[in-house]
Structure 1
Amino acid sequence: MDENKEAVLESIAFVGETLGPFFLQDPVKGDAGAAFEALAALDADAAAGEWPFVDTDEAQRDLGLMKEGLAKGTMDDDLVWEYRRLFIGPAAKPAPPWGSVYTDRECVVFGESTLALRAWMREQGIQRLDDDKTPEDHIGLLLVLMAWIARNRPEVLDDFLRLHVLTWSSHFLEQLAAAAEQPFYQGLAQLAKASLEGIQSALALEVSYPRYYR
């Protein structure tokens, strides 16, 4: 593998490993406390110039929003309750983080696209990275899995992104950014969207977009 390809794969892994936990982990109860603290201490302007696949001005804006949202620390009630409002419930989520909610006619969790992803993973011999009951097409799980595939199974990365991530990620992340009422999650949604679209462009992936039912 040439050095440029290795660098692209490492950058893709960085994006997935950095952003994925923020979609999966409660700021207080989760295991991503160190990641939240690192983001809070980040020099957003300097980091924006290093962020891969995204225009510097956009990265600066999005990282700035994320840092702004952490200004009061991870114990801030607004931050904690916003995570739970967006990703946990019990109230209806304004932008559910599972792909099948948008691509399945019935707008259900564990829909056809989830089963298709599960079958693809089985065919590739890829096991889940955790043992919880969250559907495989949760955006956070997909970002973390993207990082793992980039490092361990790069030959299947294009198909993973083209068939199971990029088909719905921009649609969802746009809705999430609009629904977010706390700057951290607004910035996170925008940065994830821009990063995935930048990866699509860098890999020259042609994606067949489904009909969205939500």
Structure 2
Amino acid sequence: MSRQSGVALCAALTLAILAPAAAVAMPIVATAVTAPADVAASDASGVNIPNLDDVRGDITLPANGSGGSSLAWISSDPAVISADGLVERPPHGSDPATVTLRVTATFGDSTATHDYVATVTPAPVDEPLAAYFFPHFVGESTPDGEEIYFAASEGNDPEEWMSLNDGESVLASTLGEQGLRDPFLIRSPEGDRFFLLATDLKIYGGGDFGTAQRPAAARSWCGSPTTS
């Protein structure tokens, strides 16, 4: 392209950018208006309450729906689940308790109701602690080293340990970096649920800590070829 052609092209692009907005045809998109009754019905039936079939602790009963409705709750058994979501589990050895939570959604002059059925699991037996539990990984020198292994103390002695699962890994990852390191175990306040967190990182096979600690955007930029 000659210099004169380049100047002409830049001038044409500049005129196009600076052209009045009225000269550009803009499509008009009609926005659908949802009826208040439909908003209320959607908000009433659209509440997400995790683990409703196995309730073991307090639950969140929201005061507002995603569409803007106000939500009011009524419990069929407030002694087990209150209208505020506070949970009192049945004693150990008894049957699970079934509680119906009815929500009324109000949007404008429209209202709608929906029932959510919750199953509350009995409380666990209160037993004395007997040993320590140790989730861990074994290193990055083997393909399965960055997986989760389990061990337990021999009695209440934190200096004597035995491997579980015949020394084989128990948990492996197929997501992200496909490695699991630095596990951290959390016990729920209720005492009968445990949550295991781990770092998504795998060094074996060519990884390195410098790359792992760099933000994704920086890794992408540093790995891109340069042009002159």
TM-score range, shorter chain: under 0.3
Specify the structure having the higher radius of gyration (Cα): 2
Q: From the two aligned structures, give the one with the greater helix fraction.
A: 1
TM-score (norm 2): 0.18
Q: From the two aligned structures, give the one with the greater strand fraction.
A: 2
TM-score (norm 1): 0.19
